Amino acid sequence: MKYLKIKSRARAVLLLLGLLIGWMPARAQTTVIGLDSAEAQALRRHPRLRQSDEEIAEQRALKRGSFAPANPDFLWSAPTGEMWAPGVVQTLDLPNVYRRQRQVAQAGVVLAERNRDVSRATVLRDTRLAYLGLQFAEAQVRQYTYQDSLYRTLRLATERLFAAGEVTSLQRISTDAEARQATVQLQQATEDLHAAQRRLALLLSQPGTELATSTDLRRSGPELAQTGAALLGTLPAADSSALVRSPTLAAATQNVALSQSGISLVRARRTPALTLGYQNQAFENSQLKYRFQFGVSVPIWFWTYRAQLQAATARSRAATYQLQTQRLELGTQYQQALADTRKFSVSLAYYEQTGVPQSRAIISQSQRLFQAGEVSYLQLIMSLNQAFAIQNTYLTTIRDYRQALVELSYLRGE
């Protein structure tokens, strides 16, 4: 009779647990946003892109002023010693100098545009990672909410059974410890959710807005597992092929072009300049008082131009080394992201095909066996912990795999 009584109470506990499995708490009023909408808002509002637009406007304005002759000299002279007469003198560089200045200005505009591409790719990557972080935080809150509710029910049932003398003190303490740990994990997950909401809201220039994603992270798992092998088959293994569209590499390449055009400009400025003047050079009774004058400005201070050329050459070499460094760093990052993608793709396929179905089977069978009296209370808790650990690792694997994909997209300029 006592065994039947325990079995009846166990069935009541499991019935209550079954009701809690489908229960989810109501979410507060939030603004639901999709990934495409988040990306569009970030590209439209992020101050980094506005800064890039202003830098492009600055370089275009400098290009319009690339034809910049020296200011004219307005002179007053007394050619006869009896009266003062006005005059003007203008120094002009050879046309090649102004052409080189325009080329430098155009290279500066292109560099600003390439830097804007880098800013755009960075904003997209940050937005995608922030959105993924919010999805992960939401999934964790749902997972820990379910765990917390289940362990709360187990603790209440254990308290009643302990009061009736039907479970031991060890079972009561173990259940209470698991329940308290689940509550702490839920509190931590909730704080992580609030932090993820604030992070995404700041990127979208919506501080104070409580955001929510439109897609559950778990729903992307099966799709990622199916497309993972096909995606890896299309990714080039060589860095040179994978990074041809990298905005960071394009900006570094354009910086080399800008520094090389600077060398050409310094060399062009070493040529003589022309001086034109129009002054009074006659006596008061002269029929032609104002006369033109011509001259040549000779660059005799050779050390100045030599130093400028050395500086421009060093700047060009530094830009070349910077380009090589960028290639090395981006290549290393690409290989790491590619390895992470392959690694997490294999893990994701395992959890989709084996791990998650096994965790569901563990939960279902442990409840059934406990109800039949074939496993103990502690064995039930251990089985549930094992199943929940598998499901939590599954969520982490989805997040890590998608982070690797985001990094690959950023490096490839997509």
pLDDT digits (tens, 9 = 90+) for 312-368: 889 999 999 999 999 999 988 988 988 888 888 888 888 888 998 899 888 888 878
Tell me which residue has tokens 């290279």.
107
Both structure tokens of 15: 């019935």
Residue 79 pLDDT grade (very low, low, confident, very high; cuts 50, 70, 90): low
For residue 245, what pLDDT is reported?
A: 86
CA distance 147 to 385: 9
pLDDT digits (tens, 9 = 90+) for 9-23: 554 454 445 544 444
pLDDT score recorded for residue 234: 67
Closest CA to 79 of 292, 277, 279, 293: 279
- With bands split at pLDDT 50, 70 and 90, how would you rate the model's confidence at 175? confident
23 phi, psi to nearest 5 deg: -90, 135
Q: pTM here?
A: 0.81
Beta pairing class for 85-92 and 73-77: antiparallel
What 3-state class would DSSP assign to 279? strand
Where do the domains of the chain lie, and which CATH numbers do they carry?
46-412 (1.20.1600.10)
